Amino acid sequence: MSEENLITVSGLRTVLPSKEGREVSLVDGIDLTIPGGKTVGLVGESGCGKSMTARSLMRLLDAPIYIKEGTIQFHGQNLASLPEKEMRSIRGHQISMIFQEPMTALNPSITVGKQVREAILLHEKVTRREAKERVIQMFRNVGIPEPELRYRSYPHQLSGGLRQRICIAMAMILEPEFLIADEPTTALDVTVEAQILALMKQLQGSHKMSILMITHNLGVVADICDEVNVMYAGQIVEHADKAELFHHPLHPYTLGLMKAIPRVRGKMEGELYTIRGTVPSMAQMPAGCRFCDRCPYATEQCRRERPGLRDVGGGHLVRCFREVIE
């Protein structure tokens, strides 16, 4: 934990106000640190709040959803309370984002080259020609074949993999320090996914940036992340280094997830483990631990009290009352 943290999120709470005056916490008090030059994973199932966390960091929340509490420290500034105008100069420049569905992230009526060039022209004073040359160079860096030709293509003329490469080029063009990748390979075939992940690793190496990788796929985490945060029902339930998390998962939810996934390699025997039940609704959370209704180890205490995140040694954090049996 000695490296400089690029981003420090503390107590982030993003809420959706409801008509009856109640609030639903979509992100419920999250602490998250992103060390410089590292890839941090945020894993969880649909609706757990992982994308909402990303959007909060980017300040891309759709009204009436808003950040109610917490701070996002980035170079001495608190992004959670920064005026929109200042946020705009950071967004896309120092912090940028790639999305799951590259087709909807791109404008269908503008050539991909112009869209990426636009990002440069918005933030820097350069001529159009210089900007174009940089775009073509970036296209080459992200492995787009025939970049001069592709510059003039429209998004619909490209395959899903190429579109995602365009989105990555757009996110990388201003050399951000921090990249948020929200399920960047979920819509792609495994063969293309492997290419995109290799590209992200290579770009991270050459640009020394930090990445927040949001995914539901533990295979992607194992491939690309240095540290992992597991999210469940709006909270982080476990945090550890990648190797530690995969070798010694502690939270019953993390354990369950790992046993529920069929493997491509290695031994596989018997039935798949299943986590019983479904995720509780954000509006009706259990009083105690949010996982207690699905947890095989739940006790009376779990139903009554909310467990906090505790350190079990070496920066391995877990939100669970259960004593660890070594």
Partner 1 sequence: MMEPLLRVEHLAKYFRSNAGQVKAVDDVSFNLYPGETLALVGESGCGKSTLGRLVIRLLEPSKGKIFMDGVDLSGLKGRELRKMRSRMQMVFQDPFSSLDPHFTVGEIIAEPLRNAGVPKEEQQKQVLSLMERVGLPGEHYFRYPHQFSGGQRQRIGIARALATNPKLIVCDEPVSALDVSIQAQILNLLRKLQKESHLTFLFISHDLAVVRYISDRICVMFLGQLCEICPTQDAYEHPLHPYTRMLIDSAPDPDPDVSGENRMLLQGELPSPVNPPAGCRFCTRCPYATEECKTVRPEMKDYGNGRFCACHHPLA
Stretch that binds partner 1, among 9-17, 169-177, 274-282, 301-309 (CB under 8 A): 274-282
Among 190, 283, 287, 324, binds partner 1 (CB under 8 A): 190
Provide the Cα torsion 36, 198, 114, 108; round to 10°: -110
Among 175, 189, 305, 311, binds partner 1 (CB under 8 A): 189
> Is there binding between residue 197 and partner 1 (CB under 8 A)?
yes
Backbone angles phi, psi at 74, to 5 degrees: -145, 110
Residue 298 beta carbon to partner 1: minimum distance, rounded to whole angstroms: 16
Sign of the four-CA dihedral 215, 220, 224, 226? positive
Among 4, 20, 21, 46, binds partner 1 (CB under 8 A): 46
How many Cβ atoms are within 10 Å of 301's Cβ, its own excluded?
13
> Is there binding between residue 264 and partner 1 (CB under 8 A)?
yes
Strands 77-78 and 23-35, how do they pair? unpaired
> Is there binding between residue 198 and partner 1 (CB under 8 A)?
yes
Among 10, 73, 111, 195, binds partner 1 (CB under 8 A): 195
Q: Total number of residues binding partner 1 (CB under 8 A)?
A: 45
Residue 192 beta carbon to partner 1: minimum distance, rounded to whole angstroms: 8
Site string for partner 1, 75-114 (x = CB under 8 A): ----------------------------------------
Q: Which residue pairs from 189-197 have beta carbons closer than 8 angstroms and sit at least 24 positions apart in sequence?
A: 189/160, 189/161, 192/159, 192/160, 192/161, 192/164, 193/220, 195/143, 195/161, 196/161, 196/164, 196/165, 196/168, 197/223, 197/224
The Cα–Cα gap between 3 and 266 comes to 35
> Is there binding between residue 122 and partner 1 (CB under 8 A)?
no
> Is there binding between residue 278 and partner 1 (CB under 8 A)?
yes
Q: Which residues contact 187 (CB under 8 A, 6 or more apart)?
A: 100, 101, 102, 160, 164
Q: Which residue bears the tokens 């820097």?
A: 124
Q: Which residue bears the tokens 């790639």?
A: 98
How many Cβ atoms are within 10 Å of 250's Cβ, its own excluded?
22
Indicate the residue among 261 and 283 with the shorter CB distance to partner 1. Answer: 261
The Cα–Cα gap between 118 and 131 comes to 9
> Is there binding between residue 181 and partner 1 (CB under 8 A)?
no
Site string for partner 1, 223-262 (x = CB under 8 A): x------------------xx--xx--------xxx-xxx
Indicate the residue among 260 and 324 with the shorter CB distance to partner 1. Answer: 260
Q: Which two tokens stand for residue 242?
A: 């990648």
> Is there binding between residue 273 and partner 1 (CB under 8 A)?
yes
Binding residues (CB under 8 A) for partner 1: these are 45-46, 145, 159-162, 189-195, 197-198, 216-223, 242-243, 246-247, 256-258, 260-266, 268, 271-275, 278
